Amino acid sequence: MPPGLPQGRVKTDAAGRKQLEAALQAGHGIDKTTPLSQLIALDVAFHSAIYRLAGNPVIEETIAPQWPHMRRSMAAVLTELDYRDSAWTEHQTIAAHVLAGDAKAAEAAALAHAQTAGHKTEERLTALEQAA
């Protein structure tokens, strides 16, 4: 599981599971014409569903002041049309492991997603800086 996501809660929290599944379904409806603001909102909804499913309010309290920075990073990454589908494929992989209760696989998938997004953000910001 991603840090803080207890396996027992994942199995018993039907509302949390439903919220995660709804976030995934909404994310799979995106395409190249989906506005960036909607992409960011959908991405936030996915990550928020994971945090809420953890049942640990400290996670949500800790991330709350970081959302403006995270949204900027998401915007930098999601402007790349080629990464939009990949991001949701990564989300699907994370969620599948979470919902199956496979802690190690979920953690590995979440780490890979974070690293990919981090690299994409760095590449995008570097390109913007060089263009300026």
Q: Can you give the pTM of this predicted structure?
A: 0.83
The predicted structure's pLDDT at residue 20: 94
Compute the half-sphere exposure of residue 26: CA atoms within 13 Å on the CB side of its CA: 17
Asked if 74 and 38 count as a contact pair (C-beta separation under 8 A), the reply is: no
pLDDT at 8: 63
Query: What are the per-10-residue average pLDDT scores of the chain (132 residues)?
Result: 58 88 92 91 93 85 91 84 84 93 90 91 83 79
Do residues 6 and 55 lie in contact, with contact meaning Cβ atoms separated by under 8 Å?
A: yes
pLDDT value for 124: 81
Q: What's the rounded Cα separation, in Å, for the pair 106 and 99?
A: 9
**Which pLDDT score, from 0 to 100, does residue 2 have?**
54
What is the pLDDT, as a whole number, of residue 110?
A: 93
Q: Which residues contact 72 (CB under 8 A, 6 or more apart)?
A: none
Cα 126-115-55 angle, rounded to 5 deg = 130
Closest of 28, 113, 39 to residue 76, by C-alpha: 39
The encoded tokens of residue 108 equal 């590995």
